[in-house]
């Protein structure tokens, strides 16, 4: 069901954990399946210097959270606001339709992060 890219991000997630001196921390929940994503970022000179995540959820949610932190690297808030759930899915080699909710959860986290960094 899952391709190797998804499985790689699940088995060896990038940037898992928290940032002690985070500029912003957001937490979003998918009320349907119960997945929870806690995203923390440290912004320096107007760009994401570090992004970390803690996710409780399915394989797709963990993989999408991992790839999200990769996509956030060195982006300004204006740049990361344009990251879409579709882009997150494509970065994973395309999530199966039944698990696309994982990319939407990451999109919700980006929206919450944008509001916090206004």
List of domains in the chain: 4-116 (3.90.1010.10)
The whole-angstrom separation of Cα 55 and Cα 33 is 13
Read off the pLDDT of residues 30-59 as tens digits, 9 standing for 90 and up.
988 899 999 999 999 999 999 999 999 999
* Pairing mode of beta strands 24-29, 47-56: unpaired
Question: Which pLDDT value is given to residue 11?
Answer: 98
Q: Is the separation of the CB atoms in 51 and 40 below 8 Å?
A: yes
The whole-angstrom separation of Cα 50 and Cα 92 is 20
pTM for the model stands at: 0.95
Residues of the chain with pLDDT under 70: none
Question: Which pLDDT value is given to residue 35?
Answer: 95
Question: Which pLDDT value is given to residue 54?
Answer: 98
């Amino acid at each position: 069901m899952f391709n190797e890219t998804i499985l790689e991000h699940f088995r060896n997630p990038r940037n898992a954990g928290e940032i002690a001196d985070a500029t912003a921390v957001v937490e979003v929940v998918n009320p349907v399946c119960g997945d929870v994503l806690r995203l923390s970022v440290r912004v320096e000179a107007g760009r994401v210097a570090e992004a970390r995540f803690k996710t409780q959820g399915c394989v797709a949610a963990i993989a999408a959270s991992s790839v999200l932190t990769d996509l956030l690297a060195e982006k300004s808030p204006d740049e990361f606001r344009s990251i879409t759930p579709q882009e997150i899915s494509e970065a994973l080699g395309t999530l199966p339709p039944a698990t696309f909710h994982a990319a939407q959860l990451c999109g919700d986290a980006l929206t919450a992060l944008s509001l916090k960094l206004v």
